[in-house]
Chain A
Amino acid sequence: MSHIQIKNLKKSYIDQRRIARGEEKSFKNQDIVVLNDINLEFQDGEMVCILGPSGCGKSTMLRMIAGFEKPTSGHVLINGEVVSQPRADSIFVFQHSGLLPWMTVWENVELGVRHLEDTEKKHKIIQDYINMVELGNFENHYPHQLSGGMLRRAELARALAVNPDTLIMDEPFSGLDFLTHMKMREEVVNMHEFIKKTTLVVTHDIDDALIMGDRVIVMSGRPSQVKLERKLSFGRPRDLGSHPELRELRDEIFFMLGVSYAV
């Protein structure tokens, strides 16, 4: 179970260009402020989709939830406990593949269950998840021998095999062709319906967010704040065609991000 709270989260980076110019780095207020006072809460088992303009700090926020980076101020709490380092119960799926290229698909998936003593059980878990993402027969392939979509699926299998309480996915569908994108999206939704783990998905695609999310969050450009937060209590299967409210929300988000759907 994982219940995540983000409290007064701020993140700023030191402006490297100013240091390169030899200026004093002590003026805190001149640092690049990426996230400015974010407050959010994710319920256990919820799938939350996060939208926002490029460079607004979505990946940065996910990295702090995962414990890869420390906030400048404020904190992230998981089940009431401050996140201070990465933990094996919240698994991160990377925007650019996080598979280890020197390991086969099998060895990569094994990483999360490598401490299991019961070898038979271990092998069954690995095989089950590899089969689940339809990579049976590719166990002994190395990442460079897989297509983009297969890489994402292998990484998803690796994450799920850990049976984590939280799944953190940074643009899991970016760079995929249309059909693979649709198929992966369906797989992630089915997977979530089945295991009901807290799942955070950052995406650039508004339709993805509206179709997948139990909730959608829109962030503003830098310094980033939460601009919109909306619960989506629609059943599944869900599509935009049969829900005028979703289409309205889509237009609202497009407007908010400063673009228009109809051109």
Chain B
Amino acid sequence: MPHKRIIYPLVTFFFIIILWELVTRFGDISSNNFPKPIEVLISTEELIVNGKLLKNTVASLFRVSIGFSLAVLLGVPLGIILGRLENAKFLFNPLVQFLRPISPLAWIPLAMLWFGIGDPPAIFLIFLASFFPMVVSTSVAVESIRPTFFQVAANFNFSRYEVLTKIVIPAITPQVITALRMTIAIAWLVVVAAEMIAVQSGLGYLILDSRNALRMDYVMVGMIAIGIIGLLLDFIMRKLGNIESTAWGRLTK
């Protein structure tokens, strides 16, 4: 069946909603603790109409775009340098490996102290969350380039610039795209957490604020919006991986 990819997931979601309805209808749970699907649907409409959902979604997406883009723009080149130059690797790799396991959330106090409140600390946290995975995946990708390709480059008298543009960058592209996909998911996880602390807008803030007002229906709207946007981000990243000149990365090895 050609539409398996679309119909099967819809079936899954449909059953989840049925299950949700059954639990909230026949279970011994108050509507305040676990709202019914229909209530969440009505609240969704409310939040769409009063513009809150859109405003907060845009705020979150904005922070993720800036933080993630900065991380990619700095992380990929640094990864290439670490993968290519042994001295740079000895100098910086221990530092990268040391900072990497520190959860971005552990940086919250310092981020707030340094950047105050508002967008900057949130963007900084997203940057941190995305930067190290990008550096590490890129340098691993560079190190795993087949030596044959560098011999071909030498054999055909490639300049250093050509080695970079005709060998290194195309060779790592498939792995870097996979890394982008993994990393944007992490960035999206972190933005919600960051917004619960440092800012007054965004989906994370919507959830926190609704909890304080004991509106679990709004909390759930926020969660659903996060899930849907995560799904869309993954979809976009996957499309990026379908470029023809990177097909070899999926089909060989």
A residues near B (Cβ < 8 Å) are: 63, 66-68, 85-88, 90-92, 94, 96, 98, 100-103, 111-112, 142-144, 162
Report yes or no: A68 in contact with B154, Cβ–Cβ below 8 A: yes
Contacts A94-B148, A96-B148, A144-B251 given; indicate if A102 touches B155 (C-beta within 8 A). Answer: no
Interface locus among B186-194, B210-218, B242-250:
B242-250
B151 partner residues in chain A, CB cutoff 8 A:
63, 66, 68, 86, 92, 94, 98
A162 partner residues in chain B, CB cutoff 8 A:
156
- B56 lies within 8 A of chain A by Cβ: no
Provide the bound-state CA to CA distance between A98 and B157, in Å: 15
B170 partner residues in chain A, CB cutoff 8 A:
100, 102-103
User: Taking CB as reference atom, which chain A residue is nearest B149?
Assistant: A100
Option from B156, B157, B171 in Cβ contact (under 8 Å) with A102 = B171
Provide the bound-state CA to CA distance between A197 and B155, in Å: 17
Option from A87, A102, A103 in Cβ contact (under 8 Å) with B246 = A102
Option from B156, B171, B173 in Cβ contact (under 8 Å) with A112 = B156
Q: Can you report 7 residue pairs joining A to B where beta carbons are below 8 Å apart?
A: A68-B151, A85-B154, A98-B149, A100-B166, A100-B170, A103-B166, A143-B248
- B152 lies within 8 A of chain A by Cβ: yes
A92 partner residues in chain B, CB cutoff 8 A:
151-152, 155
A68 partner residues in chain B, CB cutoff 8 A:
151, 154-155
Provide the bound-state CA to CA distance between A94 and B153, in Å: 13
Chain B facing A: main interface SS: helix
User: Which residue among A88, A102, A142, A162 has the maximum number of chain B CB atoms within 10 Å of its CB?
Assistant: A102
Report yes or no: A102 in contact with B245, Cβ–Cβ below 8 A: yes
- B50 lies within 8 A of chain A by Cβ: no
Provide the bound-state CA to CA distance between A112 and B244, in Å: 24
Task: Tell me, rounded to whole Å, the shortest Cβ–Cβ distance linking B138 to chain A.
Answer: 16
B204-253 residues at the A interface, CB under 8 angstroms:
244-248, 251-252
Provide the bound-state CA to CA distance between A162 and B170, in Å: 23
Report yes or no: A102 in contact with B152, Cβ–Cβ below 8 A: no
User: Taking CB as reference atom, which chain A residue is nearest B174?
Assistant: A102
User: Taking CB as reference atom, which chain A residue is nearest B170?
Assistant: A102
B251 partner residues in chain A, CB cutoff 8 A:
144
User: Taking CB as reference atom, which chain B residue is nearest A88?
Assistant: B157
User: Which residue among B155, B156, B166 has the maximum number of chain A CB atoms within 10 Å of its CB?
Assistant: B155
B160-183 CB mask vs A (1 if < 8 Å, else 0) is: 000000110011010000000000
User: Taking CB as reference atom, which chain A residue is nearest B252?
Assistant: A144
Option from A86, A101, A102 in Cβ contact (under 8 Å) with B154 = A86
Report yes or no: A88 in contact with B156, Cβ–Cβ below 8 A: yes
A143 partner residues in chain B, CB cutoff 8 A:
248
Task: Tell me, rounded to whole Å, the shortest Cβ–Cβ distance linking B147 to chain A.
Answer: 9
List the 6 closest pairs (A to B, CB-CB), nearest first.
A101-B248, A102-B170, A86-B154, A144-B251, A88-B157, A86-B155
Provide the bound-state CA to CA distance between A90 and B81, in Å: 30
Report yes or no: B245 in contact with A100, Cβ–Cβ below 8 A: no
Task: Tell me, rounded to whole Å, the shortest Cβ–Cβ distance linking B241 to chain A.
Answer: 14
Provide the bound-state CA to CA distance between A87 and B166, in Å: 18
A85 partner residues in chain B, CB cutoff 8 A:
154
Option from B155, B171, B173 in Cβ contact (under 8 Å) with A91 = B155
